Structure formats: C-alpha cells, structure tokens
C-alpha cells in the first residue's frame, strides 16, 4: 500500500533560506572498499564505467561527501550507504568536466541535501493571464532549488537499479538541473565551454546546442501527444520531459547516463551533443544480464 506523501518539512524550508557559501576544497572523505563495492552492485549502470573512471568517480564522490551536508526529513536516518549512493550518482555527470576536485565547483551554489523517505507534496501557486491566482499541490520525488538545496525521495533513489530499465534516475535528473542553473537561468542549456562544437562565441555555442536539443524536444513532445490523444506507442523516456525544454534536458540526461547504448540508438544526434559536453566516460563491459 503506498504511503501518503509528506509535506515539505522544517529542514527543507530552513535550507532553502541558507545563504550561498563556497565550499572549501578539503580532503576527500575516504569511502571504504566494502561500501563502495556494495554501492556499485546496487547501481548496475555504474559498472559500465572503465576501472579508471570508477576510481575517479570514487575520489570525486569522497570530495562531494566532504563538502555537502545530508539531512533526513521526519526522522529519516541517513546512513553512510545512503550518502554514498547519492554522491556517486550526483558526481557522474561531472566525471569528465574538469580536474578533481575543482570540478565540484559546479555544485558550489548549495550545501544541503534533504532526503525524504518517500515523495513529498509541495504547495504551488501560479497566476494566469487574467491575474487569477491558482494554488495546487504537486507530488515530488526530487527538486533542485535555485541557489538552494536538493531534495530527494530516498525510496526513488533506492529504486535506481529498477528505474534504470526505464531510463530513469532521480539523482541524475536533479543534479543535471543544478548544472543547468549555473548560468543563472534553467533553460535546458548549461554553461558551455569556450569553443564548444567549434563555435566562435557564447551565442554561437548556445545556438549550436539548441539547434540539436530543440528538434529532439519537439519530436519527443509530439510522440507524447500522439500517445495521449490517439493511443500511439509511448516514448521510452519519462513523459515528464515533454513539459518543457528544461525538463526534457534533465530527462534525456537520465537516459544518457543510465542506458547509454539505447539512448545512443534512439537519440543519435542528442547523444553526440551530450558527448561533446559531458565527455562521457569510457564504456567498460556491459553489466551481467544487461
């Protein structure tokens, strides 16, 4: 029987108000061999990484743990295993974006990570074109707050191995949103390196990015519409990606990182775009049974 979603609690409200502060580049927190191997066993998609990339990911996750603060909501006790599971997945998009540990500056706009036992209900408010205020409640399994903490449902984090088959990963989704927010706006385009795809300037690089992302988004959105209205086949990735270009970027990154072979087959142009940005890890042997 599903549990009733909790409301955003004291920790989330408090951490949302904490001022930004840069994290010091301290030593990496050591991750015990047994704990690291158990983490990899529970996350089959990480086993596609080369041994060298796994060593780098482990070091990066250790630095992440040294710089972030985990808080359990409503009495949830955050264990070392839970923290390492989150850290390893959160660091995956950063794996080849720069030297360790300096690359963690991508996540310097926040400190806190709030884990809830299950999904939460967040109050929302919108104003329509006529000035009418609409209030509603939205169930969430994760949320990345601009210059604020990341909230995650532990149940959904723990289901990472099962969610992999659907190309889903809540940790990757929310931390990719954090990358997207680093230039001050969440629009589906993270800050791009100089000369990205041979572009001569910032505007040209963004045009090149959206020149690939937007057509992929429109095609995906059309497939969702056809499935909803006419009973067509549903797309492989989460329908939530059809709600906006920003969400499509995060949803697409879930598939890119957890099932890269399938993603490359179904989204070849988008896969090449992400390769150029993330410099995707060198593929190792496929996990047993994949």
48-69, pLDDT tens digit by residue?
899 999 999 999 999 999 999 9
Residue whose entry in the numeric block shows the structure tokens 């988004």: 217
What's the confidence (pLDDT) of residue 122?
A: 72
- Cα torsion 53, 56, 60, 61: sign: positive
Question: Residues 1-17: pLDDT tens digits?
Answer: 233 333 444 334 434 44
- Closest among 236, 278, 242 to 259, alpha carbons compared: 236
Kindly tell me if the per-residue pLDDT of 271 is higher than 90: yes
Q: For the domain that residue 127 is a member of, what is the CATH number?
A: 1.10.472.150
186 is a domain residue: yes
Tokens representing 283 are: 């593929």
What's the confidence (pLDDT) of residue 15?
A: 40
Q: What is the pTM of this model?
A: 0.85
Span 209-223, average pLDDT: 97
285 is a domain residue: no
Question: Residues 163-201: pLDDT tens digits?
Answer: 888 899 999 999 999 999 999 999 999 999 999 999 999
What's the confidence (pLDDT) of residue 5?
A: 39
1 is a domain residue: no
What's the confidence (pLDDT) of residue 25?
A: 54
Confidence class of residue 26 from pLDDT cuts 50, 70 and 90?
A: low
Kindly tell me if the per-residue pLDDT of 268 is higher than 70: yes
User: What's the domain range around 16?
Assistant: 6-278
What's the confidence (pLDDT) of residue 132?
A: 78
Instruction: Give the number of domains in the chain.
Output: 1
Residues 6+ apart with CB under 8 A from 13: none
Kindly tell me if the per-residue pLDDT of 80 is higher than 60: yes
For residue 166, count other CB atoms closer than 10 A to its CB.
14
Question: Residues 142-164: pLDDT tens digits?
Answer: 999 988 999 999 999 998 888 88
283 is a domain residue: no
What's the confidence (pLDDT) of residue 281?
A: 46
Q: Which of 15-29, 117-131, 194-208 has the least mean pLDDT? A: 15-29
Span 84-106, average pLDDT: 95
Span 253-267, average pLDDT: 95
DSSP letters along 191-233, please? Answer: PPPTTGGG-SSHHHHHHHHHHHHHHHHHHHHHHHHHHHHH-PP
Kindly tell me if the per-residue pLDDT of 20 is higher than 60: no
What's the confidence (pLDDT) of residue 127?
A: 75
190 is a domain residue: yes
Q: Which of 11-15, 233-237, 264-268, 271-275 has the least mean pLDDT? A: 11-15
What's the confidence (pLDDT) of residue 3?
A: 32
Q: How far is the CA of 270 from the CAs of 225, 248, 252, in angstroms?
A: 21, 11, 9
24 is a domain residue: yes
Which of the 8 DSSP states describes residue 283?
B
What's the confidence (pLDDT) of residue 28?
A: 77
Q: Which of 33-42, 94-103, 281-290 has the least mean pLDDT? A: 281-290
Rounded CA separation 131/129 (Å) = 5
288 is a domain residue: no
What's the confidence (pLDDT) of residue 29?
A: 78
- Cα torsion 147, 153, 158, 163: sign: negative
Question: End-to-end distance of the chain based on CA atoms, in angstroms?
Answer: 30
- Closest among 71, 72, 74, 70 to 3, alpha carbons compared: 74
- Percent of the chain with pLDDT strictly greater than 90: 71
What's the confidence (pLDDT) of residue 210?
A: 97
């Amino acid at each position: 029987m599903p549990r009733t979603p909790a409301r955003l609690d004291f920790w989330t409200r408090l951490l949302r108000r904490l001022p930004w502060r840069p994290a010091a580049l301290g030593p990496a927190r050591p991750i015990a061999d047994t704990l690291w191997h158990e983490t990899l066993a529970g996350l089959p998609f990480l086993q596609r990484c080369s041994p060298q990339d796994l060593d780098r990911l482990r070091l990066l996750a250790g630095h992440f743990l040294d710089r972030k603060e985990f808080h359990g909501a409503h009495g949830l006790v955050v264990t070392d295993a839970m923290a390492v599971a989150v850290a390893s997945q959160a660091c995956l998009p950063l794996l080849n974006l720069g030297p360790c540990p300096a690359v963690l500056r991508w996540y310097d706009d926040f400190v806190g990570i709030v884990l809830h036992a299950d999904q939460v209900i967040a109050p929302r408010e919108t104003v329509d074109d006529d000035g009418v205020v609409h209030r509603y409640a939205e169930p969430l399994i994760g949320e990345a707050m601009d210059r604020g903490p990341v909230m995650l449902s532990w149940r959904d984090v723990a289901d990472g191995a099962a969610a992999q088959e659907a190309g889903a990963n809540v940790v990757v989704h929310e931390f990719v949103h954090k990358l997207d927010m680093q230039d001050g706006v969440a629009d589906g385009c993270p800050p791009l390196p100089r000369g990205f795809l041979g572009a001569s300037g910032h505007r040209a690089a963004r045009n090149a990015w959206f020149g690939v992302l937007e057509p992929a988004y429109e095609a995906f959105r059309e497939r969702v519409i056809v499935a909803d209205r006419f009973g067509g086949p549903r797309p492989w990735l989460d329908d939530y990606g059809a709600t906006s270009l920003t969400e499509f970027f995060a949803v697409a990154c879930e598939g890119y990182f957890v099932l890269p072979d399938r993603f490359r087959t179904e989204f070849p142009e988008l896969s090449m775009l992400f390769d150029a940005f993330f410099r995707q890890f060198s593929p190792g042997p496929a996990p047993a049974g994949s």
